[in-house]
Amino acid sequence: MRTRPTLSWTPTEDPPPGTTEPAPVVDALRSGGVLVLSGAGISTESGIPDYRGEGGSLSRHTPMTYQEFAASARARRRYWARSHLGWRTFGRALPNAGHRAVAAFGRQGLLAGVITQNVDGLHQAAGSEGVVELHGSLERVVCLSCGALTSRRELARRLEEANAGFGPVAAALNPDGDADLTDEQVGDFCVAPCHACGGVLKPDVVFFGESVPPPRVEHCRDLVEAATSLLVLGSSLTVMSGLRFVRQAARAGKPVLIVNRDPTRGDRHAVTRVALPLGATLTTVAERLDVPVDVGSEGPARRP
């Protein structure tokens, strides 16, 4: 039985209203030492949908859980067929203005680090360095038996060879790179085993039902402790994965600033929530700080 991920939370009190003035974000960045925590909302302008925003994928799609993936060969076939098709689009996504602005802030020495809940690699593609991928990355594949790590692009080539002619039309793409397909469209899709030992391959991401590796969590806690303030970009903070760092910062008296159009679970811990689109807001912030944003930092399209 598939466990449905957390869709929302029920506020116990009215959330503070959002603002349309990004001045507090400008002031925080001008002071330096800002730790960025980004969520799916920063990648929507790159064509990757989010989970919980307006029209978010969780309203129609239940992501694969680790328990189902590990226990069922049929579930793995369904996952890899859908993910392989989705990768053709997901793997070509390019950084947007929000990613490029974050990279520019980093180059100017204004950031203490970047933690992302996303698995799309777009912060790195925009030029950000030292990004902590809280939930892993779709760029890598791990064997559940021997632990070998391989490139997703290499696996994509193997899957193409093993499934010549596979090309159904997906109903939609999801934030985890999974495309919506029916069981009929999945058909008898051939799943590739580990090259090294023949074991089961899984994307190197934290599935629903898994926990973030404790050393990674501790590293993020250290980053929060060392930062001057925490800037949340495009995350609803519905799940504890990111919310715990907001709570940690607030307990330590560090200002928490959020840029997200919709209310978030962390609003009551924040000094402000800027309720504006991310790309335009961060571009405005960069202009006010006189920080040059490299519009050519996307690089070539990433090919599957």
- Whether 244 shows a pLDDT value over 60: the answer reads yes
The active-site residue, picked from 61, 84, 99, 135, is 135
Say which residue, 265 or 7, is predicted with more confidence.
265
| 102 found inside a domain | yes
| Residue 57 reports pLDDT greater than 50 | no
Query: pLDDT digit string (tens) for 183-216?
Result: 888 888 999 999 999 999 999 999 988 999 999 9
Range of the domain at 195: 23-288
According to the annotation, is 117 in a ligand binding site? yes
Domain assignment of residue 2, yes or no: no
Q: Find out whether 103 and 127 touch, Cβ atoms under 8 Å.
A: yes
pLDDT computed for residue 145 by the predictor: 97
Q: How far apart are CA 146 and CA 200, in angstroms?
A: 9
- 99 in catalytic set: no
The per-residue pLDDT for 11 is 65
Examine the pLDDT at 14 and tell me if it is beyond 80: no
Residue 154 domain-assigned (yes or no): yes
Backbone angles phi, psi at 125, to 5 degrees: -65, -30
CATH code where residue 106 lies:
3.40.50.1220
Instruction: Please indicate, yes or no, if residue 6 is contained in any of the structural domains.
Output: no
Q: Where are the beta strands (DSSP E) in 88-194?
A: 111-116, 132-133, 136-143, 149-151
Q: Binding residue per annotation — 278?
A: yes
Q: What angle do CA 11, 49, 139 make, to 5 degrees?
A: 115
Residue 173 counted as an annotated binding residue: no
SS3 at position 226: helix
Give the total number of structural domains in the chain.
Answer: 1
pLDDT at 182 over 90: no
Q: So what's the pLDDT on residue 178?
A: 72
- Tell me whether residue 220 is annotated as binding: no
Q: Find out whether 165 is annotated in a ligand binding site.
A: no
Give the whole-angstrom CA distance, residue 57 versus residue 65: 15
Residue 251 counted as domain residue:
yes
Q: In this structure, is residue 276 part of a structural domain?
A: yes
Average pLDDT score over residue span 77-84 = 91
In a domain, residue 163? The reply is yes
Asked whether residue 303 is domain-assigned, the answer is no
Read off the pLDDT band of 177 (50, 70, 90): low
